[in-house]
Amino acid sequence: MFIVFEGLESSGKSTQLSHLQNFLIESGNDVVSVAEPGTTALGQGVRDIVLHQDIDVHPLAELLLYEAARTQVTAEKILPAIVSGKIVLCDRYTLSSLAYQGHGRELDLVKLKALDAWATQDLKPDMTIYFDISLEEMRKRQGKSSLDRLEKEDQIFFERVYAGYLQELQEMENTHILDGFQSEAVLLDAVKCLITPLLDAR
């Protein structure tokens, strides 16, 4: 089983992934958790380049770096775990590139989707859960914390990202949108309800 958590920065997706992982492990399931970009050595290197180094990164180069990290984590972590019968929880996947690089950076979506399909070996999530918050709420939650290179982008960029998320979610299969303004406990209950049919099917 392959479940992806998506959303804007500070939407609560990473927190809910952690809560769900704990719940699944306590229920006797074998769980693997991955995050993009990261988890693998290559992914950590990409994360440092695209988010934390003060360098100019061309939009297409940014996409290719993210796709390289996704290729590695898919081949090294996700597919082997799925083949061995484990549940994989992933913090960001294809939908993030569509929203941030496709819509946010205004790159060619047709070419992006073809590249991503190649990078992921056509792997599709069994479910994608999107945590919906407004851009105003995102900035409020970020507060005065140190922001990475993407988080420092302007309002117009994030307006394109947000609209892109909603557009792509309508075109993808097996997606669910949860109200990210709800409490952690309420959201976790909602996530559990969503995945119960998948667990039962296993």
Residue 53, pLDDT score = 80
Residue 189, pLDDT score = 97
Structural domain containing residue 122:
2-201
Q: How many CB atoms lie within 10 A of CB 172?
A: 15
Q: Can you tell me the distance from the alpha carbon of 145 to that of 131, in angstroms, rounded to the nearest whole number?
A: 21
Contact 10, 133 (CB under 8 A): yes
For tokens 């796709």, the residue is: 67
Coil/strand/helix, residue 108: coil
Q: Can you tell me the distance from the alpha carbon of 171 to that of 56, in angstroms, rounded to the nearest whole number?
A: 32
Per-residue pLDDT of the chain (202 residues; tens, 9 = 90+): 999 999 999 999 999 999 999 999 999 999 999 999 889 999 999 989 888 888 889 999 999 999 999 999 999 999 999 999 999 999 999 999 999 999 999 999 999 999 999 999 999 999 999 999 999 999 999 887 778 888 889 999 999 999 999 999 999 999 999 999 999 999 999 999 999 999 998 7
Residue 52, pLDDT score = 80
User: Which pTM does this prediction carry?
Assistant: 0.93
Residue 160: CATH number of its domain: 3.40.50.300
Which residue from 76, 71, 101 is spatially nearest to 88, judged by alpha carbons? 76
Task: Show the CA angle centred on residue 99, arms to residues 188 and 95, nearest 5°.
Answer: 55
DSSP 8-state assignment for residue 180 = T
Number of domains forming the structure of the chain: 1
